[in-house]
Amino acid sequence: MLGGESKGFFRPFGQYDLVAFSEMPDSEATATVQLIATLEGDVETEKLRAFTTDEVRDALDDVPG
């Protein structure tokens, strides 16, 4: 949907009933999917940006010191 790709769904223990992992092309596409999900019914969403290990390493390389 909207150029994104679903990566999986998980049923975690804790405060969340379902966690969906996906890759989206940009924040606007992510927001659109969130709005569609919440308009369909009693759903709350939370967007989290996850980083790969390489992305974290690249960011740390830019930290002075």
Give the pLDDT confidence of 27-54 residue by residue, as tens digits: 899 889 889 888 978 888 888 888 999 9
Which residues constitute the domain of residue 43? 5-61
Q: Count the domains in the chain.
A: 1
Residues 24 and 2 sit within 8 Å (Cβ to Cβ): yes
Q: State the pTM of this model.
A: 0.62
Q: What per-residue confidence (pLDDT) applies to 1?
A: 66
Instruction: Give CA–CA dist 53/56, Å, rounded.
Output: 5
Q: What per-residue confidence (pLDDT) applies to 61?
A: 93
Question: In terms of Cα–Cα distance, which of 27, 9, 21 is closest to 50?
Answer: 21
Q: What is the pLDDT of residues 3-16, one digit of tens each?
A: 889 899 999 999 88
Q: What per-residue confidence (pLDDT) applies to 48?
A: 84
Residues 55 and 62 sit within 8 Å (Cβ to Cβ): no
Phi, psi of 58 (to 5 degrees): -60, -40
